[in-house]
Structure 1
Amino acid sequence: MTAADMDDERMPEAAASVIAQPSLDELRAEALEWGRKPRAFGAWYVTEHMVRAMRAYGWTIIVGALGQPILYLLGLAVGLAALIDAPVSEGGVEVSYLVFVAPALLMTSTIAVASEEFTYPVMAGFKWRRYFYGFNASPLASRQIATGVVFGAAARMAVVAVAYTAFLYLFGAIPDVATGWLSIFIAVLAGLAFGIPLMAYAASIEDDKGQFALVQRFVFMPMFLFSGTFYPLATLPLWLQWIGWISPLWHATEIGRWLTYGRPIEPAMLVIHFGYLIALTVVGYVLGRRIFERRLAK
């Protein structure tokens, strides 16, 4: 066989290999497709980062989730509740003081988490560590970064709410076992209703000048004290009751008391309570997304 004949035999194989190779357009389309894949689950990647970052203060989360319920419940069950012999009566239902206070403490626990996760971590993402800009340089959209922050904080709230509810059951603070566990979801909703608007505010701050300390002192504390947490809201003078009316803590607590011990609530008021919490969450999320998009576009 001559060399020419051998070359003729190799030509079909070489031609086939050339045909099998993808074109430049096909490679570009494949690269774009793979580039779009992270964006489809982008919010979950940000959530994963936020949850992994919590490992740096994991013991704080564990102590807060377990230690806080023990301290509050021991203080109320052994201390304050022992001094209050008369039951608390609302809507024709009489319950012990511990049962009355328990739902409010549950809602407060997730709102406290929201006041932590939606303030300084958001500020760090934009100003101190600037990792939001790193996220934004990848195939992640600004709205997915905001959503991931919300999901990460909600995961921590869920852990705290489950732990707190478990202790409430152990202390006998939830008489209605069948529906009491549903208050876990209300607690997470309460945390989001308070925290997502706070996230939008934190994302808008360019420089830390003590704004978050002011939120703690003049928003969180008055809400905690004057939202029917330790006594029925109706016992307050009218000029203080408005704090409870605009507080997500009061609305969530009213739903929690309905679930944990069957406190009567008019259907219209129940709709108002749920509607207010959902409205705060949705409006805060829309504002937060816009602020994230505007600031990350700079």
Structure 2
Amino acid sequence: MSIAAQRDRVADEGGVDHGAVARRARVWGWWFVAEHRIRAMRAYVASWVAIGVGSPFLFLLGLGLGLGLLVDANQGAQGVDGVPYLVFIAPALSMATAMQTAAQENTYGVFGGFKWFPMFFAMNGTPIGPAHIAVGFQVSVLVRVLLPLVAFSAVMIVFGIGTATGALLLIPIGLLLATAAGFAVMAWVSTQTEDRGQLSFVERFVVVPLTLFSGTYFPLETLPAFLHWIGWISPLWHAAELGRSALYGAELPPVMLLVHLGYLVLVALVACLLSIRTFRRRLDK
């Protein structure tokens, strides 16, 4: 008997209308998983809020009053991309934080769900299926990412960095980036059955290089031509370009707007399908 059939059989037993409960779980199972993780976050909500709110302020203050002053003094009135360095870097920092947070949550969180505290197997023993688990986990990650994104936008609005409308638009752009990066990391981590130190490679050899070579701290065009491809395949670069266009009106042809959005959506969809496929293989054995 398949695992799905066993779940149906268990659901139909007893005096409670377990069939209705099972049908509800098949529709809203992803939210049940997300709610479980969101409730678990309450254990470290103080540090979560402190880091999520404090980091944007310190990043923008440090780079704006430190490195930004040096860059602006050297560049003169034209600044970088026609704006002060702080305005240029602010949307990219917001996007980089969203990507880093999503990658971190999907590394040890996903691996632990299979290996160290195998809650995924427990969830799969209910009417909740592998697709629910993968999607629900990612929804909870977006909740985690939302706080720093809102904090970044709030700091930009308070200090007059760009436009208020543009600062608010950074939130959905950052969530789209976090979805793409999160599912991409999840798709790989969910294939790992043992931790031999390779999980730390995600941060060291993927997230950090992408942050450095995706036009975060300087325009991509200033890099040697043979390094431009890193930015082209990086979801961070596409999100940063969208963010700059939203925040201060950086020039962005309509075709490139579609390219940036399309690339992020494509990565998110493909990585999501790969994640669900791997989850199903590991859980429905």
Q: What TM-score do you get using the length of structure 1 for normalisation?
A: 0.86
Secondary structure (helix, strand or coil) at the match of 1:264 reads: coil
- Counterpart Cα distance in 2 of 1:135 and 1:220: 30
What's the counterpart of residue 258 of structure 1? 245
Question: 1:228 is matched with which residue: 215, 221, 243?
Answer: 215
What's the counterpart of residue 56 of structure 2? 69
What's the counterpart of residue 80 of structure 1? 67
Q: Which stretch of structure 1 is more off in the superposition, 198-207 or 64-73?
A: 64-73
Which letter does structure 1 place at the counterpart of 2:115?
K
What is the deviation of 1:28? 8.3
- Counterpart Cα distance in 2 of 1:187 and 1:34: 35
Secondary structure (helix, strand or coil) at the match of 1:283 reads: helix
Note the alpha carbon deviations across 1:35-54, whole angstroms, 9 max, x for none.
32222211111000111122
What's the counterpart of residue 4 of structure 2? none
Secondary structure (helix, strand or coil) at the match of 1:279 reads: helix
Residues 30 and 70 of structure 1: CA distance in aligned 2, closer, same or farther (over 3 Å): closer
Q: Which stretch of structure 1 is more off in the superposition, 249-258 or 112-121?
A: 112-121
- Counterpart Cα distance in 2 of 1:254 and 1:155: 23
Kindly report which structure 2 residues correspond to 1:17-36, keeping only aligned pairs within 5 A, or say none. Answer: 30-36=17-23
What is the deviation of 1:29? 10
- Counterpart Cα distance in 2 of 1:31 and 1:286: 29
What is the deviation of 1:240? 1.3
- Counterpart Cα distance in 1 of 2:28 and 2:147: 23
Q: Which runs of 5+ in 2 are unaligned?
A: 1-11
Secondary structure (helix, strand or coil) at the match of 2:46 reads: helix
What's the C-alpha RMSD, in Å, of the aligned pairs? 1.8
Q: Which stretch of structure 1 is more off in the superposition, 286-295 or 71-80?
A: 71-80
Corresponding pairs, count: 270
Matching of residue 151 in structure 1 with residue 139 in structure 2: yes
Note the alpha carbon deviations across 1:234-277, whole angstroms, 9 max, x for none.
01101111111111110000000000000111111111100110
Note the alpha carbon deviations across 1:170-226, whole angstroms, 9 max, x for none.
2222x2223331111001111111111101111111001112211111111111111
Kindly report which structure 2 residues correspond to 1:149-228, keeping only aligned pairs within 5 A, or say none. Answer: 149-173=137-161, 175-228=162-215
- Counterpart Cα distance in 2 of 1:37 and 1:228: 45
CA contact (8 A) 2:53 2:147 kept: no
Q: Name which one, 1 or 2, has greater alpha-carbon Rg.
A: 1
Q: Which runs of 5+ in 1 are unaligned?
A: 1-24
CA contact (8 A) 1:176 1:262 kept: no
What is the deviation of 1:88? 3.0
Question: 2:43 is matched with which residue: 56, 61, 64?
Answer: 56
Which letter does structure 2 place at the counterpart of 1:153?
V
Matching of residue 275 in structure 1 with residue 267 in structure 2: no
Q: Which stretch of structure 1 is more off in the superposition, 94-103 or 211-220?
A: 211-220
What is the deviation of 1:89? 4.3
Task: Give me the identity figure in percent.
Answer: 42
What is the deviation of 1:134? 0.7
What's the counterpart of residue 116 of structure 2? 128
Matching of residue 42 in structure 1 with residue 42 in structure 2: no
Secondary structure (helix, strand or coil) at the match of 1:224 reads: helix
CA contact (8 A) 1:119 1:212 kept: yes
CA contact (8 A) 2:29 2:133 kept: yes
Q: What TM-score do you get using the length of structure 2 for normalisation?
A: 0.90
- Counterpart Cα distance in 2 of 1:212 and 1:34: 37
Q: Which stretch of structure 1 is more off in the superposition, 34-43 or 226-235?
A: 34-43
What is the deviation of 1:30? 4.2
